[in-house]
Amino acid sequence: MQSNGINMSYDFIENKVYFDPSRLQQALFEMDQPVTVQQYIQTLTLHELGHALDRQSLLDAMPKMIEIAKVKRKKRFVERREDLVLFAYDMQAHEMDLAFEETAWENAKKLNERLSLISWDVFERVETQGMASYRKLYEKDAMTYKKLLAASLMAEREAEIAL
């Protein structure tokens, strides 16, 4: 148990699953359509086990994660979001997070096919909720990145024209 504001999380370094009971309860009430506590926790547990099945990929990504973390620690978000090269690190982090989350959900689906613990309609609702926060942050930052890229391309064009 860990009070970190995250429903459940898989610590791939220690190979442990943590959960925050307060956040679990809150997230359960945030579901668009109700599911039972048991269904919710079983589905999230399958998802975290899905991460565990992908542990080697997570470990292999450590050097890149460390590189991104170092860049993000050096510059505040406000500074990074004004610099195309720096903000690319934020986008890489999002892309890695999404890929790991999608893989964990795919692994969870396979586990559920084998174990038949959760009905598919409940599984998909919990998955949709679980992925929503990652997608929302990614989409928001992707818009910022596209604006930075457009501004950079425009500046390059203006520089070429000026020559």
Measured at the CA of 14, the angle between CA 100 and CA 25, to 5 degrees, comes to: 65
Q: What does pLDDT average to in each consecutive run of 10 residues of the chain (163 residues)?
A: 74 94 92 93 97 97 96 91 92 96 98 96 96 94 94 84 75
* Phi, psi torsion values for 10, nearest 5 degrees: -105, 120
What is the number of domains present in the chain? Answer: 1
Within a domain: residue 52?
A: yes
The answer as to whether 69 is a domain residue is yes
Q: Contact at 8 Å (CB) between 73 and 108?
A: no
116 falls within a domain: yes
Return phi, psi of residue 16, to 5°: -135, 150
Q: Could you tell me the CA-to-CA distances from 152 to 37, 94, 138, 143, 148 in Å, in that order?
A: 49, 21, 20, 14, 6
Dist. CA 141–CA 146, nearest whole Å: 9
Can you give the pLDDT at residue 6?
Answer: 81
Is 2 inside any structural domain? no
Report the pLDDT value the prediction gives residue 5, as an integer from 0 to 100: 66
Is residue 1 assigned to a domain?
no
Is 3 inside any structural domain?
A: no
- pLDDT value of position 89: 95
- Which domain, by its residues, includes 65? 8-162
What pLDDT, on the 0 to 100 scale, is given for residue 96? 97
Give the pLDDT of residue 26: 92
SS3 117: coil
- For residue 114, being part of any structural domain is answered with yes
